[in-house]
Every structure is written in C-alpha cells, then in structure tokens.
Amino acid sequence: MTEPVTSPTESRVAEFRADIAAMHLKDPVPGREALLLRAGLVAMVAGPVVAVVAYFLSHSTSDALSQRDAIVMALAGVAVTILGAALWLRYSLAAFLRFWLARLIFEQRVQTDRVLETRAADHLVQ
C-alpha cells in the first residue's frame, strides 16, 4: 500500500503538533481558567458595591470608630476591584494571546513553505 500524499501544509501541521507534544508543556486547564476569569469579573463588580456601601455606612454615623471601619471596608472594596481586574485581564488576554501566537507560527511556517517552493521551482527552471 502506498501512503496518502500530503501537502506541505499538512505535513507542517503534523510537525507542529509533534513539536508541541515533544515540549511536554503543561496543558492549560480550561475549567480553572474560566472559573478564574468569572471570579475576576465578579470581583470587579462586587468591589465597587462594597465601597459604595461602606461610603454610606461611614456617612450615616457620627461615631469615629464606625467611620474608620467603613473606610477600611471601602479600601478593601477597592483592593478587591483591582484584584478582580487583574484576574480578568490576565485570563482574557492569555486565551487571546495563546490563539494569536499559534496562528502566527502557523502562518509563518506556511509562508516559509511558499518561499521554499518558489526557490525550488526557480532552481528547476534554471
């Protein structure tokens, strides 16, 4: 039996997959990444809510101790908002950049194949 003829692009894809498998890279856990992405989004929403509630708590009393507690709670809300934004940004960009990098590598390899085929054809003509 003869092997099926594969195009240079198909052989590059197979080579790319073999190279990735040989690197023994840790496979990202999609469930955990999605969970942390959602957690960041929830924290970005919950943080300002906590800060606004703390603002109203601090202005509803004349007790200095209660006001300071509310100020600390407001600062915690701001910190939660920043943490949520960092989580959301990290995991949303990670997914996009992972796809972008794989696509860039693939397109560069296809372009290299085209250049090599053109050069080989030029050498055959001469």
Amino acid making up residue 91: Y
**pLDDT tens column, 42-53:** 999 999 999 999
User: Does residue 106 register a pLDDT over 60?
Assistant: yes
pLDDT of residue 28: 65
Closest CA relative to residue 10, chosen from 22, 20, 1, 18: 18
How far from 103 is each of 9, 37, 72, 96, CA to CA, in Å?
A: 13, 23, 46, 11
Cβ(86)–Cβ(40) below 8 Å:
yes
Closest CA relative to residue 85, chosen from 35, 41, 32: 41
Domain ranges of the chain: 29-125
Kindly report the pTM of this predicted structure. 0.62
Amino acid making up residue 85: A
pLDDT of residue 67: 92
